[in-house]
């Protein structure tokens, strides 16, 4: 019995950085690029990545960076199974990553979060544990907590629910001070809100083909969060692209503190769209990766494609149409 699953990458539409604060929100959407995997019951547990087979027990002693999330997720789930008196099943786990380019460069679509979610979804099906999307989300956050790599959670929510959504971050201090683990799966998380959205405007996605890790994260003051939440709320109720313009302006102000967040290519991506009266912004943390542009008139697509490609920005045809 072979179990197959795929999970999407994600794009932040509006609210990146705002959602770092507890009780603050962002709109996130899944895209048509995927991380996929298959589990096949076997006599021992192995993970196959890029054609190389890694025994799980060996990975517990020394794990390559790219498999860290996957290994921790399996370990975490095994602990949950023990708690529920469910016997462990050994399997072969083959992973295929399409969230990177042919040159093995990440697009910045949330592959770290996707690796946790993909593994959880496959294990949930293998063991028929019937965990709800909210339970899977809580598990994914607790795995990140254990790894010491907590994201805002918006990436996890979007990938798990696989629809556009408005996500409000849980109370981070509460979670960090909580000593419990599996009991938290059944409890209510303060401030957490996940609201599924049926439709979003059409967005074009531009990839800068570059990414770098900042030397310093910089400090974000309360004034940013106050302004950001108002803009996000206004966009959530109107989808008016004026708020895309406004949010990008706010991110440009933040760039004075978080230096290098808006790279030269991202600046060009936004500026060139603006010359066509198209609202564009960075998507996600910045420092390279992707930017997006809200398209209100489909006739603008060819124009912006030419402009971006002339600037060395690759257009990724990954936005989901309404009927997908």
Q: What is the DSSP string of 218-230?
A: ----HHHHHHHHH
> Rounded to an integer, what distance in angstroms lies between the CA atom of residue 205 and that of residue 202?
10
pLDDT of 247-280, one tens digit each? 999 999 998 877 778 889 999 999 999 999 999 9
How confident is the model at residue 78, as a pLDDT? 97
> Rounded to an integer, what distance in angstroms lies between the CA atom of residue 29 and that of residue 87?
36
80 by DSSP, 3-state: which?
Answer: helix
Cβ contacts of residue 87 below 8 Å, gap of 6+? 81
Q: Token digits for 132?
A: 């709800």
How confident is the model at residue 280, as a pLDDT? 97
Residue 155 CA to chain centroid, in angstroms?
3
> Rounded to an integer, what distance in angstroms lies between the CA atom of residue 261 and that of residue 277?
23
> Rounded to an integer, what distance in angstroms lies between the CA atom of residue 93 and that of residue 130?
20
Query: pTM of this prediction?
Result: 0.94
How confident is the model at residue 32, as a pLDDT? 92
> Rounded to an integer, what distance in angstroms lies between the CA atom of residue 84 and that of residue 82?
5
How confident is the model at residue 214, as a pLDDT? 67
CATH 3.30.230.10 corresponds to the domain 3-196: yes
Q: Token digits for 153?
A: 């959670």
At the second CATH level, the architecture of 202-316 is 2-Layer Sandwich (3.30)
Distances (CA, A) of 62 to 44, 45, 119, 207: 18, 15, 19, 33
> Rounded to an integer, what distance in angstroms lies between the CA atom of residue 126 and that of residue 115?
17
Give, as one character, the DSSP assignment of residue 319: P
Cβ contacts of residue 33 below 8 Å, gap of 6+? 8, 9, 98, 99, 107, 109, 316, 318
Alpha-carbon Rg for the chain, nearest whole angstrom, is 20
| Ranges under pLDDT 50 in the chain | none
Domain boundaries, the chain: 3-196, 202-316
User: In this structure, how many other beta carbons lie within 10 angstroms of the beta carbon of residue 88?
Assistant: 12
> Rounded to an integer, what distance in angstroms lies between the CA atom of residue 18 and that of residue 196?
19
Q: Token digits for 250?
A: 């706010």
> Rounded to an integer, what distance in angstroms lies between the CA atom of residue 129 and that of residue 127?
5
Cα three-residue angle 262-265-271, rounded to 5 degrees: 80
pLDDT of 100-130, one tens digit each? 666 666 777 778 899 999 999 999 999 999 9
């Amino acid at each position: 019995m072979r179990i197959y699953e795929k999970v999407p990458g994600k794009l932040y539409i509006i609210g990146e950085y705002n959602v770092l604060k507890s009780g603050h929100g962002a709109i996130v959407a899944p895209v048509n690029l995927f991380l996929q995997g298959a589990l096949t019951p076997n006599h021992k547990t192995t993970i196959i990545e890029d054609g190389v087979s890694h025994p799980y027990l060996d990975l517990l002693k020394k794990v390559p960076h790219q498999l860290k999330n996957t290994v921790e997720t399996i370990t975490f789930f095994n602990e949950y199974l023990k708690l529920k008196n469910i016997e462990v099943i050994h399997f072969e786990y083959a992973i295929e990553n399409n969230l990177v380019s042919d040159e093995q460069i990440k697009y910045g679509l949330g592959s770290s979060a996707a690796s946790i979610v993909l593994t959880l979804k496959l294990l949930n099906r293998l063991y028929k544990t019937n965990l709800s999307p909210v339970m899977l989300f809580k598990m994914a956050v607790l795995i990140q907590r254990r790894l010491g790599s907590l994201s805002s959670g918006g990436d996890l929510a979007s990938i798990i629910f696989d629809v556009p959504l408005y996500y409000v971050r849980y109370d981070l201090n509460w979670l960090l001070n909580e000593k419990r683990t599996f009991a938290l799966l059944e409890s209510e998380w303060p401030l957490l809100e996940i609201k599924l959205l049926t439709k979003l405007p059409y967005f074009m996605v531009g990839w800068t083909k570059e990414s770098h890790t900042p030397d310093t994260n910089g400090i974000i003051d309360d004034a940013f969060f106050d302004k950001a939440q108002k803009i996000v709320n206004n966009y959530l109720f109107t989808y008016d692209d004026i708020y895309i313009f406004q949010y990008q302006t706010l991110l440009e102000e933040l760039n004075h503190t978080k230096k290098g967040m808006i790279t030269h290519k991202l600046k060009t991506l936004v500026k060139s769209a603006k010359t066509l009266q198209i609202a564009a912004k960075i998507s996600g943390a910045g420092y390279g990766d992707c930017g997006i542009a809200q398209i209100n008139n489909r006739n603008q697509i060819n124009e912006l494609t030419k402009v971006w490609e002339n600037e060395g920005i690759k257009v990724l045809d990954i936005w989901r149409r309404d009927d997908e």
